[in-house]
Each structure stands twice: as C-alpha cells, then as structure tokens.
C-alpha cells in the first residue's frame, strides 16, 4: 500500500480540483475515504487469507466498494451537492486501489470484486510498498516509502495544487 499520507494527499488534491470551495467536511470525508480501504488489514486478525475476497486489497479496494461507500456518505452528508460529494468521495476511495496497484509489493488489487477475484497491478510500480504497522513504518523501509511518495505522489499533487492556486488568483 501507499502510506496514509500519500492516500490522504491524493484525496485532498481531488477535493480541491473538483470543488475548489470544498468545505472542511468534504475534505475530511475525502481523506477518510482514501484511507478506509485499508480497514481490510483487520482480516489478518481473523485469519482471513490475503487473497480471499475479504482479504487485504480485496473488496474494500474494489470499485463496487468505492461506489457504495461514496454514495452512502453523499446521501448522509452531502446536503445540497450530493453529486459533487459523491464524485469526490468515489474518486478518493477508488484512488486507494489505483495507488496500491502502483506499489512495489503485495499480491495486487481486487478492483472487480465481488464479480471477479483476480488481483491486478499496473505496469508502473515505482511507489514503494508501505509496511503494515506503525512500528515498521518508523524504519529505513518507512523512509524509502516516504521518499518514493514524495517523488510520485506529493510532487505531482503539489504541482496540481499550485496550478489550481495560480488559476484561481487570476
């Protein structure tokens, strides 16, 4: 997986690009939506195998999950702009699997679960896979993850946000 920092930054950028007047609630829900797919690491605690549809990078990383999640949050929190809410939250949630499919480790992402259980990676896999667990993150491995995310996630997001800021100023 990319780290929670990388996933969160992509969600923040997505919210700002789609809705430059994003309120705090939408930004918070977008960031949460980009991080929540990793709730599936709890499957390990219950003895669920990695490659099981409910295992890590399984259903909660799928397009169906992103649709259900974003529609539910938009319904409850979207007030008057439910479609914008749903779009930002969907893209934030689905971005999690997309970035995980660009990492250097794991067993792939189950984008099409529950319809099909295959796991996928993208040809570009330069983002270092983040360790599972806080204690392992504060190590040389964690530093390599942060450096790869700075290059492949933070820098592009920063450029997009800077361009957005410059266009808004004019």
Query: pLDDT tens digits for 75-129?
Result: 999 888 899 999 999 999 999 999 999 999 889 999 999 999 999 999 999 998 8
* CA 104 – CA 126 distance, rounded (Å): 6
* Contacts (Cβ under 8 Å, ≥6 apart) of 43: 52, 54, 55, 56, 58
User: What is the DSSP secondary structure assignment for residue 138, as one 8-state letter?
Assistant: S
| Model pLDDT for residues 44-85, shown as the tens digit of each residue | 999 999 999 999 999 999 999 999 999 999 999 988 889 999
* Residue 92 belongs to domain spanning: 4-169
- Flag whether the pTM goes above 0.95: no
- The CB-side HSE value for 75 (13 A sphere, CA atoms) comes to 6
| Model pLDDT for residues 147-165, shown as the tens digit of each residue | 999 999 999 999 999 999 9
* CA 118 – CA 107 distance, rounded (Å): 10
Count of domains for the chain: 1
Higher pLDDT, 140 or 109: 109
């Amino acid at each position: 997986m990319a780290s929670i920092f990388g996933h969160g930054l992509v969600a923040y950028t997505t919210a700002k690009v789609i809705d430059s007047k994003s309120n705090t609630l939408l930004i918070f829900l977008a960031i949460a939506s980009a991080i929540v797919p990793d709730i599936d690491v709890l499957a390990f605690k219950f003895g669920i195998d990695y490659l099981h549809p409910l295992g890590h990078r399984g259903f909660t990383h799928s397009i169906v999950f992103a649709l259900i999640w974003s529609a539910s949050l938009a319904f409850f929190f979207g007030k008057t702009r439910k479609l914008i809410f749903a779009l930002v939250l969907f893209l934030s949630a689905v971005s999690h699997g997309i970035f995980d499919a660009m990492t250097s480790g794991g067993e792939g992402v189950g984008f099409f679960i529950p319809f099909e259980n295959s796991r996928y990676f993208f040809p570009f896999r330069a983002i270092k896979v983040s360790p599972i667990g806080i204690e392992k993150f504060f190590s040389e491995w964690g530093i390599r993850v942060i450096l790869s995310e700075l290059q492949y996630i933070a820098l592009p997001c920063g450029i997009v946000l800077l361009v957005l800021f410059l266009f808004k100023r004019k």
